[in-house]
Amino acid sequence: MPSARVKMVLGRVAQAVPVAVGVVVISFLLTRALPGDPAAYFAGPAADEASIAQIREALGLDKPLIQQFVIYVGELLRGELGTSISTGQSVAADLARRLPASLELTLTALVISCAVALPLGILAATRPGSWVDHLCRVLVTAGVSLPTFFTGIVLIYVFYYLLGLAPSPLGRLDFIYLPPERVSGFYLVDAAIAGDWGTWLGALKQLILPAVTLALFTLAPIARMTRAAMLSALSSDFIRTARAAGLTRRKVLYGYALRNALLPVVTTLGMVFSFTLGANVLVEKVFAWPGIGSYAVEALVVSDYAAVQGFVLAMALLFVVLNLVIDIAYALIDPRIGLT
């Protein structure tokens, strides 16, 4: 007889299945609706009607939509995402190659923004009305108003053009460095493993500006949620009991209030990750970062349907998995949830 917890985990997984199905269907439909004729593209500018029709047949684009969908799902289950028109490589390989760049950027940005937003939110909640509180609120309101592409450009202007501190925004590594041997795909990790500190520093310098741009964007919702959750926890009855029992301020704050407040913050982090994947696209364009975001934009512009489809699908499925993990983690942390 499986325990209640196991049943709950399985239940959550089962709930995620229809979402995954919906994602697959929607991404299929979206990309089939893209303008442009992939057959013509493949055939080349010199091709005539007959060879285009031939290629169309070879690609299976003349079959009815349902049949195309079935073939598509079949290929999907084999791990095949099709071939990119512009790069000529398999989309799956393309994505695998470029994913680490985006992940490195997003994770660095999240780490930076958590490092600032969490303490800020906690301080603002414990000292209501103080300058920290006002700073937090102004930062939050300003933060959600910032267009990422604009802040990126301004940062480049100030730190590269005016101050000359940052390197030119041309990607992950300045051309004088060679990328380190690929272990994880994260330049910082790989360079450290190889002991190549020159490259490590070079990669870091390139990473800072785009990561800060992204971090400014994610700072606001995390700080706001932390402040709200802490305020709500601190005004709860059980905090009053803890104080009346003589527990120290530190214990009350961290042991009791913070742990309760972390639950909604964890949920927010999941949402923020989703936004960031979106904001990624813009930041990657501004900083010429070779991640999956810029891959998608390039593919969209040339109607490379397989690449766009693969990208949308991969991102959505990644998000579903991430949410599932966060849901399960949340349920495991909060003892109240396991039994509902």
Q: Which of 76, 123, 135, 153 binds other proteins (CB under 8 A)?
A: 153
Shortest gap between Cβ of 135 and other proteins (angstroms)?
15
Contact between 79 and other proteins per CB under 8 A: no
* Selected binder of other proteins within 165, 255, 288, 329 (CB under 8 A): 255
Spatial separation of the C-alpha atoms in residues 226 and 269, rounded to whole Å: 10
Distance (Å, whole) CA 253 – CA 234: 8
Binders of other proteins among residues 22 to 51 (CB under 8 A) are 22-23, 26-27, 30-31, 33-35
Under the binding rule (CB under 8 A), the answer on residue 11 touching other proteins is: no
Q: Is 300 in the site for other proteins (CB under 8 A)?
A: yes
Least distance between other proteins and beta carbon 315 (Å): 5
Burial zone of 337 (CB within 10 Å; 0-12 exposed, 13-18 middle, 19+ buried): middle
Range 178-237, binding other proteins (CB under 8 A): 236-237
Question: How many Cβ atoms from other residues are within 10 Å of residue 275's Cβ?
Answer: 13
Q: How far is the CB of 46 from other proteins (least distance, A)?
A: 27
Other beta carbons less than 10 A from residue 223's beta carbon = 26
Phi, psi angle pair for 85, to nearest 5°: -70, -45
Q: Interface with other proteins includes 288 (CB under 8 A)?
A: no
Closest by CA position to 309, among listed 17, 38, 123, 101: 38
Among 115, 147, 181, 183, binds other proteins (CB under 8 A): 147
Q: Is residue 1 part of the contact set for other proteins (CB under 8 A)?
A: no
Least distance in angstroms from the C-beta of 195 to other proteins: 34
Residue whose CB is less far from other proteins, 47 or 247:
247
Residue closer to other proteins by CB (options 84, 323) is 323
Q: Which is nearer to other proteins, 115 or 332 (CB)?
A: 332
DSSP reduced 3-state for 90: strand
Strand (E) or helix (H) holding 3: none
Q: Hey, is 164 helix, strand or coil?
A: coil
Comparison of 22 and 60: residue with beta carbon closer to other proteins:
22
Nearer to other proteins, 42 or 160 (CB): 160
Instruction: Please list every residue from 306 through 335 that binds other proteins, using CB under 8 A.
Output: 308, 311-312, 315-317, 319-320, 323, 333-335
Among the listed residues 281, 306, 307, 331, the single contact to other proteins using CB under 8 A: 281
The yes or no reply on residue 301 touching other proteins (CB under 8 A) is: yes
By CB under 8 A, tell whether 54 contacts other proteins. Answer: no
DSSP letters along 188-254, please? HHHHHHHT-HHHHHHHHHHHHHHHHHHHHHHHHHHHHHHHHHHHHHHTSHHHHHHHHTT--HHIIII
Please work out the total of residues on this chain that contact other proteins, with binding judged by CB under 8 A.
Answer: 76
Binding flag, residue 251, other proteins (CB under 8 A): yes
Q: Which of 84, 108, 113, 148 binds other proteins (CB under 8 A)?
A: 148
Q: Which position has the token pair 């051309």?
A: 175
The answer to whether 19 contacts other proteins (rule: CB under 8 A) is: yes
Instruction: Calculate the alpha carbon distances from 2 to 6, 8, 9, 99, 337 in Å.
Output: 6, 10, 11, 37, 17
Q: Map the footprint of other proteins across residues 120-139, applying CB under 8 A.
A: 128
Give buried/exposed letters for 66-105 (b at 16+ CB in 10 A, else e): eebbeebeeebeeeebbbbbbbeebbbebbebbbbbbbbb
Per CB under 8 A, which of residues 87..106 are in contact with other proteins?
none
